[in-house]
Amino acid sequence: MKAIVYEKYGSADVLRYTDADKPSVGDDEVLVRVSAASINHGDLFAMRGPASGAWRSGSAAPGRTSWAGPSRGRWTRPAAT
């Protein structure tokens, strides 16, 4: 899979497009095949340095469920490939 990552704080120049390992998914989690992603002002703010709390980038990404753990309920089901 591909990912845009940053390993140090800074401007958008620290962003790097790279290969990444497919994440492991637990029985109570869902894996989403993302069809598009964006960098928004929140991501750029987080890249300035440590904040007072946890930050998770990539909060806006459309996609389809590619795997759902058995304890996730009936509302999720794997997408047809």
Query: What's the distance, CA 50 to chain centroid?
Result: 19
Domain assignment present for residue 21? The answer is yes
pTM: 0.59
Domain assignment present for residue 9? The answer is yes
Strands (DSSP E) along the chain, which ranges?
Answer: 2-5, 16-19, 30-34, 63-68
DSSP class per residue in 3-25: EEE-SS-SSGGG-EEEE-PPPP-
* Structural domains of the chain, count: 1
CB 58 within 8 A of CB 73: no
Domain assignment present for residue 81? The answer is no
Residue 76, pLDDT above cutoff 60: no
Where in the sequence is the domain holding 16, given as residue range(s)?
2-72
CB 42 within 8 A of CB 57: yes
**Model confidence over 17-67: pLDDT tens digits?**
889 888 888 888 888 888 888 877 777 777 787 755 545 556 677 888 888
Q: What is the pLDDT of residue 13?
A: 85
